[in-house]
Amino acid sequence: MGNLVSRISLLHLLLLVGLFLTLSGEVASLGINYGQVGNNLPPPDRVLDLLRSLKLTKARIYDTNPQILTAFANSNIELIVTVENQMLPILMDPNQAFQWVHTHIRPYFPATRITGIAIGNEVFTGGDTALISYLVPAMVNIHAALVRFGLDRFIQVSTPSSLAVLQESFPPSAGCFRPELNRIMPQFLRFLAATKAPFWINAYPYFAYKDDPSSISLDYVLFNPNSGVVDPYTNLHYDNMLYAQVDAVTFAMARMGYGGIEVRVSETGWPSRGDPDEIGSTVENAAIYNGNLLRRQLKDEGTPLRPNRRLEVYVFALFNEDMKPGPTSERNYGLLQPDGTMVYNCGLFELASTSSTSSLISNVTRVKT
């Protein structure tokens, strides 16, 4: 893969992206997942410089790392922080939840623009029934603590869920939750509706393609031009799988009487490398998926079901993380290597508003194959 990796330095990356964004402005609906499961990642202050130069104004982290919260103070970055899964039973106690907010949120806000607290990650599909039972009470207690501090107007509380919470996802209008969640899901949705918080979904069309490449169109999952599919019950046309997955979640919530809750994509991405059985995990596909997604985000698109509501998306991930367990793909979702070089050119630079600038940047940053 070495000859596929760009040799552009971090400095060049920052200068060129800055030039692009001077012309085209910020992508208000785009965020980035900043994971830290690596032993060679740059320090938070350098990451902040990177995000600023990219004009990215939204990021999500998977803990409440005080170094990151401190480094991000007085920046323009809106930050989602995370309560780790193992903390959920402790937060069943309202006093412990208050103490958690007092320790992990209050000292940093408002200098650090914390806008969301993710209570756990993919709890509904983790197979731990006890943990699932702790989730909503922990969310209620964290929100109550925010109310006591007067922070509930600024910070939303939700939990990111895997798409596996759905029993059916296609066609989108058939979307429904897994039957084993029928008791807990209404409680969760009631909380989201009452607090005006979003349903966060981790949606990866890559997984669907990997599991069934002979039946699923690669162009459809990569946002490439294709004939798409039509939902036979709504007649809505879908030209990509991500939007279909998002609308399936909306239909599933509507079946429970909560169709007005906003869906946001807390994770999506494509691995640039994988094991032999991880079909589709290539540099080329990763560049196409994320590049086409960025183009969609620049247009502030909504889904076919909600075309006038801009879909907020957080790309996974900023860096390749060398200490993540699991298959090879898990360590290869990053847009950047830890040293700041691009893993691939996802076409961000070609989006410049003038053809001459686009050509210049494209020539400088083109990945050699």
Q: Are 224 and 257 in contact (CB under 8 A)?
A: no
Cis peptide before 171 (omega within 30 of 0): yes
CA 45 from centroid of its chain's CA atoms: 22
Distance CA 205, CA 63 (A): 26
DSSP three-state, residue 346: coil
Q: Are 283 and 211 in contact (CB under 8 A)?
A: no
AA letter at 223: F
Burial status of residue 179 (CB atoms within 10 A of its CB: 0-12, 13-18, 19 or more):
exposed
Distance CA 236, CA 230 (A): 6
Return the bridge partners of 119, or none.
83
Q: Are 56 and 95 in contact (CB under 8 A)?
A: no
Q: How far is CA 110 from CA 56, 113, 147, 159, in A?
A: 19, 6, 15, 22
Q: Residue 70: phi, psi to the nearest 5?
A: -70, -45
Distance CA 44, CA 101 (A): 22
Q: Residue 343: phi, psi to the nearest 5?
A: -70, -35
Greatest alpha-carbon span in the chain: 60
Distance CA 157, CA 82 (A): 10
Looking at the annotation, which residues are catalytic? 122, 267
Q: Are 93 and 128 in contact (CB under 8 A)?
A: no
